[in-house]
């Protein structure tokens, strides 16, 4: 016999998905709160700003090899090429 679903928790949400049962409101709310907290922690650990692509373009063409490598690693060469083309 399977374990009873722990409703109102993210674990409960995962159990609903695993057992292919309809997710109840309490589990959906818990899952949303879990995701919101993960996003908040991620923002806290990886603070960032948004800059215009034109400014990124200027930075790119002035950048040292070290900065170019960091930009490549952050965006991926393909995306960086697409942004700056
Ligand atoms: Zn539930």
13-45 per-position pLDDT tens digit = 999 999 999 999 999 999 999 999 999 999 999
Residue 1 lies in a domain: no
Residue 41 shares a structural domain with residue 15: yes
Residue 3 covered by a domain: no
Q: Which domain holds residue 76?
A: 53-84
Residue 1's pLDDT is 75
Instruction: Find the 31 Cα to ligand 1 centroid distance in Å.
Output: 10
**Closest by Cα among 45, 54, 63 to 83:** 54
Q: Ligand 1 centroid vs 8 CA: distance in angstroms?
A: 6
> Is the Cα torsion angle 21, 23, 27, 31 positive or negative in sign?
positive
For 22-42, b/e burial (b = at least 16 CB within 10 A) is ebeeebeebbeeeeeeeeeee
Q: Do 62 and 79 sit in the same domain of this protein?
A: yes
pTM of the shown model: 0.63
- Counting the structural domains of the chain, the total is 2
Residue 15 Cα, ligand 1 centroid: separation in angstroms?
8
Is residue 62 in some structural domain?
Answer: yes
């Amino acid at each position: 016999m399977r374990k009873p679903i722990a409703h109102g928790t993210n674990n409960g949400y995962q159990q609903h998905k695993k057992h292919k049962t309809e997710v109840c409101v309490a589990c959906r709310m818990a899952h949303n709160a879990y995701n919101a907290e993960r996003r908040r922690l991620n923002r806290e650990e990886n603070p960032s700003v948004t800059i215009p692509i034109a400014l990124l373009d200027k930075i790119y063409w002035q950048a040292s090899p070290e900065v170019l490598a960091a930009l490549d690693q952050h965006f991926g060469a393909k995306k960086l090429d697409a942004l700056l083309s």
